[in-house]
C-alpha cells in the first residue's frame, strides 16, 4: 500500500502514482498537463522531504484562491455586463413601445376630435332643421286656422241663409 500524505486541508490521502492518475483530458493544453504534473511532483517532494513548512502547499492554496477570486470576479463582470446589456435592451424596447403607444394615442385623439366636430356639425344641422320644421309647422297652423275660420264663416252664412229660408217658408 502506498504511503499516505497530507493535503493542504490537512486530510490524509493516498500518495499518487502514475498508475492511479486519471487519464488526461482531451481538451487540456500541454501547459495544463505540465502544471498538473509539476504540482503533483512538488507536493510529493514537499511531503517526502519532510521540511514541514508546507510553503508549497500554502502558495498553491493561495494561488488557487487567487484563481478562484479572479474567476469569480470575471464571472461577476460578465454577469454585470450582460445584465447592463439586457437592461439597456429592455429600456430601448420600453421606449419604443411607449413611442408607439403615444403615436397610437395621438392618432386616436385626432380621430376622436374629428368625430366630435362631425357630431357638433350634425347636432347643429339637426337644430337648424328642427327650427325650420317648427317655423313651417307654425306657418301651416296659422294658414290652417285661417282656412278653418274662413270655412266657419261660410258655414255660419250658410246656416243663416237656411234659417232665413225656413222662416220665409213658414211665413208663406
Per-residue pLDDT of 107-126, as tens digits, reads 999 999 999 999 999 999 99
Mean confidence (pLDDT) of the chain:
80
d(CA 165, CA 172): 10
In this prediction, residue 49 carries a pLDDT of: 44
SS3 call for 4: strand
d(CA 6, CA 47): 8
- Report the candidate in 62, 60, 34, 35 with the shortest Cα–Cα distance to residue 47: 60
Cα-trace Rg, the chain: 57
Q: Between these two residues, 45 and 166, which has the higher pLDDT value?
A: 166
SS3 call for 26: coil
Structural element, H or E, at residue 162: helix 55-171
SS3 call for 13: strand
Report residue 9's pLDDT band, with 50, 70 and 90 as the boundaries: low
Per-residue pLDDT of 128-169, as tens digits, reads 999 999 999 999 999 999 999 999 989 999 999 999 988 888
How do 4-6 and 12-14 pair as beta strands? Answer: antiparallel
In this prediction, residue 32 carries a pLDDT of: 47
Show the cell assigned to 14. 493516498
pTM exceeds 0.75 for this model: no
Contact partners, residue 43, CB within 8 Å, separation at least 6: 5, 56, 57, 60
Amino acid at each position: 500500500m502506498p504511503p499516505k500524505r497530507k493535503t493542504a486541508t490537512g486530510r490524509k490521502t493516498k500518495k499518487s502514482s502514475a498508475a492511479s492518475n486519471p487519464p488526461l483530458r482531451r481538451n487540456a493544453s500541454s501547459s495544463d498537463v505540465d502544471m498538473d504534473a509539476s504540482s503533483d511532483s512538488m507536493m510529493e517532494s514537499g511531503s517526502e522531504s519532510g521540511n514541514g513548512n508546507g510553503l508549497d502547499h500554502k502558495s498553491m492554496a493561495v494561488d488557487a484562491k487567487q484563481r478562484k477570486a479572479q474567476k469569480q470576479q470575471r464571472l461577476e463582470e460578465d454577469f454585470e455586463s450582460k445584465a447592463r446589456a439586457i437592461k439597456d435592451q429592455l429600456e430601448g424596447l420600453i421606449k419604443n413601445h411607449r413611442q408607439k403607444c403615444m403615436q397610437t394615442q395621438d392618432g386616436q385623439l385626432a380621430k376622436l376630435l374629428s368625430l366630435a366636430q362631425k357630431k357638433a356639425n350634425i347636432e347643429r344641422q339637426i337644430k337648424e332643421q328642427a327650427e325650420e320644421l317648427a317655423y313651417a309647422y307654425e306657418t301651416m297652423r296659422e294658414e290652417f286656422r285661417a282656412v278653418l275660420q274662413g270655412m266657419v264663416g261660410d258655414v255660419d252664412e250658410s246656416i243663416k241663409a237656411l234659417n232665413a229660408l225656413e222662416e220665409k217658408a213658414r211665413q208663406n
